[in-house]
Amino acid sequence: MSIEYLGLSEINGPLIVLEGVQGAAYDEIVELTVEGNKHKLGRIVEIYEDKAVIQVFEGTEEMSLKNTHTKLTGHPMEIALSEDILGRVFSGIGEPIDGLGPIISDVKKDVNGEPLNPYTREYPRNFIKTGISTIDCLTTLIRGQKLPIFSGNGLPHDQLAAQIVRQASLGSDSDEEFAIVFGAMGLKHDVAEFFRRTFEESGASSHVVMFLNLANDPVVERLITPKVALTAAEYLAFEKGMHILVVLTDMTSFAEAMREVSSSKGEIPSRKGYPGYLYSELATIYERAGIIKGSKGSVTQIPILTMPNDDITHPIPDLTGYITEGQIVLERALHQKAIYPPINVLPSLSRLMKDGIGEGYTREDHQDLANQLFSSYARVGDARALASVIGEDELSPIDKKYLQFGTAFENEFISQGLMEDRSIEDTLNLGWKLLAILPREELDRVDTKILDKYYHTSTADETSSSEA
């Protein structure tokens, strides 16, 4: 079985070409030995008869056309899995790097995964409390959802993700098992360290599996890291019945790696040099979230991506938004006003929230309140634009109210402490308190009955004092 081929016929960036191969399969993993002592892994990405194009995960440094031995493994990329992976740290291709030895298990899974049959999916409906007002009230996270954070360089997306992980994991009072899978692609060392410390401090590190491809690790390895992480997540969720929160960061590095490899393969680029299959590739990652009928566990994904030049129409955030079930968008302007978390609520969205909130889940007024906050805050933008032209003094009384509401909304509702864990009751009441700044006839998104019950009743005194 294990024929070794000596030598290569071409090396081009991360790709090598091997000729005269027998019985090689598409997508098969090969083991490479360089100078007899360095081991690397590669994947066959194209075959023409006896000529295989191989993508080398650990980079092609030190390889020459003569010093490399290649061995076919006969299977696609696989990782060994067992419950022992909890608390461990692996490299971007799933090899232990914490010095605790390999995972011994009979369970080996193909990291490419298989598409989840829509017929066997269960539609996600369970609300995950994060303790962050903007997320809980306006872009509710649902168990089994994929909800990315669209951020920019220098914005506190890591802190936000850490806070979500910390509060979502500890906030649950049920005895269901919970674990975190952390996949890092091209992450800075400090950031990886920040996450490791956060998990430790919150006492969750025995429930965390980390897959780290750091910024100085080989680029090609990044292409496989999210797949390895999600394979581990699927195993823990659907075979061990655990609720898994997957944090993937930074998806931009993943897409950049794809562009790099694609261009060295000489493929025809589509938008901004990214390959035409960027959408399909991203989809095979993001779609690996959800709940299966009859299975106890779930996979919830929070991918983080930094928008190049803060541009939400850049292909990476754009294609991501078309696949994921909503997005949380961070904004630099809010960050500069020292508001944390700087979530711009208007472009943020959770597509699954409609079925996971309201009576029986959170509270009856949740949907109406959220709609009204969105609508009123959108009006704030108009009022501000007008004020910048004609000056604040010239605004109509109602526009002035909107300005007042906007400031209060940003400072009290959006802004909260890094360690502050608000209950859903508090968040909703806070929303009503802020809406009380506006006159009742401006609240056109709320059912009359809900308005009678929640508007002013609990908030009248605070409003009058704030207006005084």
Per CB under 8 A, the list member of 120, 206, 423, 458 interacting with other proteins is: 120
Nearest distance in Å: CB 222, other proteins: 19
Strands 78-80 and 178-187, bridge-based pairing? unpaired
Residue 456 region by backbone torsions, left for phi larger than 0, else alpha for psi between -120 and 50, else beta: left
Nearest distance in Å: CB 396, other proteins: 6
Q: How many residues of this chain bind other proteins (CB under 8 A)? A: 85
Indicate the SS3 state at residue 60: coil
Instruction: Give the ranges where 172-300 is alpha helix by DSSP (H).
Output: 189-201, 225-234, 251-264, 278-286
Which window, 213-221, 244-252, 385-393, 406-414, contacts other proteins (CB under 8 A)?
385-393
Per CB under 8 A, the list member of 9, 64, 280, 458 interacting with other proteins is: 280
Q: What is the DSSP string of 162-179?
A: HHHHHHHHHH--S---EE
Task: Compare residues 50 and 200 and give the one whose CB is closer to other proteins.
Answer: 50
371 binds other proteins (CB under 8 A): yes
Per CB under 8 A, the list member of 354, 359, 423, 462 interacting with other proteins is: 354
Residue 202: name the closest of 176, 171, 175 by CA.
171
Q: Which residues, in sequence order, are bridge partners of residue 121?
A: 292
Per CB under 8 A, the list member of 37, 313, 336, 465 interacting with other proteins is: 313
Which window, 84-92, 113-121, 152-160, 206-214, contacts other proteins (CB under 8 A)?
113-121
Tokens coding 422: 């608000």
Tell me the per-residue interface mask from 139 to 168 with other proteins, x by CB under 8 A, - otherwise: -----x------------------------
403 binds other proteins (CB under 8 A): no
Per CB under 8 A, the list member of 8, 14, 28, 41 interacting with other proteins is: 28
* Residue 310 to residue 332: CA distance in whole angstroms: 8
Tell me the per-residue interface mask from 429 to 468 with other proteins, x by CB under 8 A, - otherwise: ------------x--xx-xx--------------------
Provide the terminal-to-terminal Cα distance of the chain, rounded to the nearest Å.
85
Per CB under 8 A, the list member of 347, 452, 458, 464 interacting with other proteins is: 347
* Residue given tokens 């954070």 in the structure block: 149
Contacting other proteins within 321-340 (CB under 8 A): 321-323, 325-327
Nearest distance in Å: CB 325, other proteins: 7
Which window, 8-16, 91-99, 277-285, 421-429, contacts other proteins (CB under 8 A)?
277-285
393 binds other proteins (CB under 8 A): no
2 binds other proteins (CB under 8 A): no
Q: What is the DSSP string of 343-408?
A: B-TTT-EETTHHHHSSTTTS-TTHHHHHHHHHHHHHHHHHHHHHHHHH-GGGS-HHHHHHHHHHHH
Nearest distance in Å: CB 153, other proteins: 20
Kindly report the number of other CB atoms within 10 A of residue 78's CB atom: 17
Contacting other proteins within 36-75 (CB under 8 A): 46-50
Nearest distance in Å: CB 118, other proteins: 4
116 binds other proteins (CB under 8 A): yes
Nearest distance in Å: CB 87, other proteins: 27
Let me know: does 332 contact 342? Beta carbons within 8 Å. Answer: yes
Task: Compare residues 203 and 269 and give the one whose CB is closer to other proteins.
Answer: 269
Measured CA angle at 152 (ends 149, 154), to 5 deg: 115
* Residue 131 to residue 421: CA distance in whole angstroms: 4
Alpha-carbon 447 to chain mean position: 34
374 binds other proteins (CB under 8 A): yes
Contacting other proteins within 408-427 (CB under 8 A): none
Kindly report the number of other CB atoms within 10 A of residue 211's CB atom: 30
Task: Compare residues 216 and 313 and give the one whose CB is closer to other proteins.
Answer: 313
392 binds other proteins (CB under 8 A): no
**Positive or negative: CA dihedral 184, 187, 188, 189:** positive
352 binds other proteins (CB under 8 A): yes
277 binds other proteins (CB under 8 A): yes
Per CB under 8 A, the list member of 288, 335, 422, 433 interacting with other proteins is: 288
260 binds other proteins (CB under 8 A): no
* Residue given tokens 């890591």 in the structure block: 158
Burial-class residue 188 by CB neighbours within 10 Å (0-12, 13-18, 19+).
middle
360 binds other proteins (CB under 8 A): no
Kindly report the number of other CB atoms within 10 A of residue 446's CB atom: 21
Per CB under 8 A, the list member of 5, 127, 211, 238 interacting with other proteins is: 238
